[in-house]
Amino acid sequence: MHKEDQPLIFELSTEGRIGYSLPEMDIPEIALSELLPEGYLREEEPELPEVSELDIMRHYTALSKRNHGVDSGFYPLGSCTMKYNPKINENVARFNGFAHLHPLQDESSVQGALELMYDLQEHLIEITGMDEVTLQPAAGAHGEWTGLMMIRAYHEANGDTKRTKVVVPDSAHGTNPASATVAGFETITVKSDENGLVDLEDLRRVVGEDTAALMLTNPNTLGLFEENILEMAEIVHGAGGKLYYDGANLNAVLSKARPGDMGFDVVHLNLHKTFTGPHGGGGPGSGPVGVKADLIPFLPKPVLVKKGDQYEFDYDRPQSIGRVKPYYGNFGINVRAYTYIRTMGPDGLKAVTENAVLNANYMMRRLAPFYDLPFDRHCKHEFVLSGKRQKKLGVRTLDIAKRLLDFGYHPPTIYFPLNVEECIMIEPTETESKETLDAFVDAMIQIAKEAEENPEIVQEAPHTTVIGRLDETMAARKPVLRYQKQ
């Protein structure tokens, strides 16, 4: 990585320089002051940079060199499924006939786009074992909230208005309880047992006639399959609640088990995880939601339907929860996911899961002698270690993560899930080779040894990055959230 500080684009600005080429003005011009009422013509110019095209390219190239992506190196960030982002996806998404369509064009002029959306829905229905899918939600958390709003509408339509609680395991993603709150529910936490699975006794205790739904990730965030899933479904359904599947970890079970067959009523998928939408530095994602038949009336509108060989949007959905997003979802990401699914086919998707799970188990076994393994059983696509042993030596999980930066790796997810002390959560994905996994494991083993023999080198890491550990306390105490011209 580049060591020199890269100035802000505003600091590179020089008055009078331009970086654009606007179309010619071929009509008679009128002073804007004649077109606007007094006080509405902008007087103070926005302080945007004034730079040439080469200045721009150099600036962003320099910034890109100060950034680590999957294409830069291994990125075993647990729960995020940082697999390879295929390049054909990028080409297809940029086709004029996909990238440059207006969402409000006449349906007759976008049949190809609708066909792609419809076929993607069909593929996702088969993959999840659900009855219908909407592509409208923009991301996983958005999908969670959409699904919970549908569950709420379903209970309300049944006159079942006392169901105000959503049950969430203590190992759940933070978005689960937050989505429940935003959908108007109260969150109840269910404990994990000593095996890292939902404690059935505790589930029986918290589920009742006020339960709207149980939200579950399976395999859960510890990378463990909730093997009592059918019993859990019985408990929740028996009490009149619905079962919600957080699809963040779907990469672990493609072709092995489908949420629809496990008793789930609502599913959201993260197309930017399992289905290779690039993470983009934090988005855009795409979070389609699948439902069982009894929830179909509540899907966000419009719903895409096929009539003969024509596709159209159905807006006449009286029980729909309404729109959750303008237009029809993050189409550009959906195009990428569709391209990926069509590239892999059924046997390809099966191999994806098998290799992801094999990779995770292999790493786990190689690392087990050097770090605490809180749950000693086969994992699925990811596993968690605990840095407890190293903590006793004065080396925290955060230090281990920072030390990994010196080896050129993006560290695993750390301090999550919350129910494991000094947690290190590793998800290798299926697109990494054995050589890569071995090299990473070797680095982890070396760090474990350093923790014993030379803890300072870990505690003071990173040593090779463009910048050292940053003062986050100062950032929060005296927030500087924008550049101010001096």
Partner 1 sequence: MKHRYLPMTESDQKAMLEKIGVSSVEELFSDIPESVRFKGEYKIKPAKSETALLKELTKMAQKNADLRTNTSFLGAGVYDHYMPIIVDHVLSRSEFYTAYTPYQPEISQGELQAIFEFQTMICELTGMDVANSSMYDGGTALAEAAMLSAGSTRRKKILISSAVHPESKEVVKTYAKGQYIEVIEIPHKDGITDLEALNGMIGDDIAAVIVQYPNFFGRVEPLKELEEIIHAHKSMFVVSSNPLALGALTPPGKFGADIVAGDAQVFGIPTAFGGPHCGYFAVTSKLMRKVPGRLVGQTVDDQGRRGFVLTLQAREQHIRRDKATSNICSNQALNALAASVAMTALGKKGVKDMAAANMQKAHYAKQQFKAAGFEVPFEGPSFNEFVIKLNQPVKEVNQKLLEKDIIGGYDLGRDYADLKSHMLVAVTELRTKEEIDAFVKEMGDYHA
CB atoms within 10 A of CB 284: 14
* Closest alpha carbon to 76 in 480, 454, 439: 439
Q: Which of 134, 142, 417, 451 binds partner 1 (CB under 8 A)?
A: 142
Q: In what order do the strands lie in the sheet with 423-426?
A: 383-386, 423-426, 413-414
Q: How far apart are CA 80 and CA 112, in angstroms?
A: 31
Instruction: Note whether 33 binds partner 1 by CB under 8 A.
Output: no
Q: Out of 343, 394, 442, 452, which residue is the one contacting partner 1 (CB under 8 A)?
A: 343
Stretch that binds partner 1, among 177-185, 204-212, 238-246, 289-297 (CB under 8 A): 177-185
Q: Which is nearer to partner 1, 394 or 452 (CB)?
A: 394
Bridge partners of 188, per DSSP, are 167
Tell me the window of 17-25, 199-207, 235-243, 288-296 that interacts with partner 1 (CB under 8 A): 17-25
- What residues contact residue 53 under an 8 Å CB cut-off, 6+ apart? 19
Give the shortest CB-208-to-partner 1 separation in angstroms. Answer: 18
* DSSP SS3 for 102: coil
Report cis status (omega within 30 of 0) of the bond before 86. no
Contacting residue, 342, 388, 389, 391, with partner 1 by CB under 8 A: 342
Of positions 151, 213, 357, 451, contacts partner 1 by CB under 8 A: 357
d(CA 341, CA 471): 43
Q: Does 313 bind partner 1 (CB under 8 A)?
A: no
CB of 355 to partner 1, least distance (A): 5
**Alpha-carbon gap, residue 428 to 437, rounded angstroms:** 8
In this complex, which beta carbon is closest to partner 1, that of residue 194 or of residue 471?
A: 471
How many whole angstroms separate alpha carbon 303 and alpha carbon 299?
A: 7
- Render the burial of 319-339: b for 16+ CB within 10 Å, e for the rest: ebbeebbeebbbbbbbbbbbb
Please list the residues that pair with 132 across neighbouring strands: 291
| Spatial separation of the C-alpha atoms in residues 154 and 162, rounded to whole Å | 12
* Cβ at position 240, least distance to partner 1 in Å: 21
Instruction: Among 347, 369, 453, 486, indicate the residue that binds partner 1 (CB under 8 A).
Output: 347
Evaluate the omega torsion of the peptide bond into residue 28 and state whether it is cis, within 30 degrees of 0: no
User: What is the token pair recorded at 400?
Assistant: 């281990």
* Shortest distance, position 406 Cβ to partner 1, whole Å: 10
Q: Is 159 in the site for partner 1 (CB under 8 A)?
A: no
Site for partner 1 in 256-275 (CB under 8 A): 256-258, 261-262
Name the nearest CA neighbour of 301 among 282, 284, 320, 318.
320
Other CB atoms within 10 A of residue 257 CB:
16
Site map (CB under 8 A) of partner 1, residues 378-417, x = contact: x----------------------xx--x----xx-x--x-
Scan residues 427-466 and list those touching partner 1 (CB under 8 A). Answer: 430-434, 462, 465-466
Position 74 contacts partner 1 (CB under 8 A): no
Instruction: Tell me if 162 contacts partner 1 by CB under 8 A.
Output: no
Within residues 91-130, the interface with partner 1 by CB under 8 A covers 91-106, 108-113, 115-116, 122-123, 126-127, 129
Nearer to partner 1, 351 or 373 (CB): 351
Distance CA(81)–CA(226), nearest Å, equals 19
Pick the piece of the chain touching partner 1 (CB under 8 A) from 14-22, 202-210, 387-395, 444-452: 14-22
Residues near partner 1 (CB under 8 A), total: 204
Q: Which stretch binds partner 1 (CB under 8 A): 209-217, 236-244, 277-285, 442-450?
A: 277-285
Nearer to partner 1, 194 or 472 (CB): 472
